[in-house]
């Protein structure tokens, strides 16, 4: 069974396709530039940003660019989602949520850049960055719920991919709410889920290219 359906072949624009491919790659690169140590969570993450200097600063910038591209890809998918049923309504909610997520992530990255520029600011701004980041993480997984439903029910890809994204969203929300985003267990689970999410998004982008080439 093909993972992409007829709707996916209807013409996602080139910018949208490339955004779905490049966006998640940049997001993963961003995380690696800030810290490669999975033990860096909470105050340790703030310390890693402060110690990272220009590397951490550029990592945060690249992360914002990656999420911006991801948002562009979601908007492109929304435009080609069939209006029948509630698929497009779900995708519109997902698009609005991704824009809000981008705004929150940009604020967090701005605070992080300030800390990377001036490590002394970590004492006063570190907690704010962690709080904003936690809110952004919860919002990110919330936006994944309508996206998972819309992309599956709208026939853009095989429904199984929608179910995978839905599972990521639910597990991510539970992890963030039960353990928190700055706890060792919560941070580990969320990190793994974000990596899987990035891979699935990349696969969707590649399938859009392959679909139009059939």
CA neighbours closer than 13 Å in the CB half-sphere of residue 150: 25
Q: Percentage of the chain surpassing pLDDT 70?
A: 93
| pTM of the predicted structure, to 2 decimals | 0.89
At 46 the three-state DSSP class reads: helix
- In Å, how far are 47, 69, 109, 187, 195 from 44, measured between CA atoms? 5, 29, 16, 12, 20
pLDDT of 214 reads 42
Tens digits of residue pLDDT in 135-165: 999 999 999 999 999 998 888 888 899 999 9
What is residue 212's predicted lDDT score, i.e. its pLDDT? 57
Which uninterrupted H or E stretch holds 33?
helix 14-34
């Amino acid at each position: 069974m093909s993972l992409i359906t007829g709707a996916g072949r209807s013409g996602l624009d080139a910018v949208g396709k490339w955004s779905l491919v490049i966006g998640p790659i940049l997001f993963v690169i961003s995380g690696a530039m800030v810290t490669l140590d999975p033990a860096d969570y909470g105050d340790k993450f703030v310390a890693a940003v402060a110690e990272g200097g220009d590397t951490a600063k550029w990592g945060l910038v690249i992360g914002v660019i990656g999420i911006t591209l991801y948002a562009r890809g979601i908007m492109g998918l929304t435009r080609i989602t069939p209006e029948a049923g509630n698929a497009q309504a779900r995708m519109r909610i997902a698009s609005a949520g991704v824009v809000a997520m981008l705004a929150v992530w940009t604020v967090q990255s701005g605070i992080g850049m300030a800390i990377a520029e001036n490590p002394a600011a970590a004492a006063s701004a570190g907690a704010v960055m962690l709080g904003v980041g936690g809110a952004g993480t919860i919002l990110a997984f919330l936006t994944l719920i309508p996206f998972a439903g819309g992309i599956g029910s709208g026939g853009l890809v095989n429904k199984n991919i929608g179910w995978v994204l839905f599972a990521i969203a639910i597990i991510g929300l539970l992890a963030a709410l039960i353990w928190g985003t700055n706890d060792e267990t919560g941070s580990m689970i969320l990190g793994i889920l974000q990596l899987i999410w990035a891979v699935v998004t990349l696969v969707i982008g590649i399938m859009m290219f392959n679909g139009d080439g059939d």
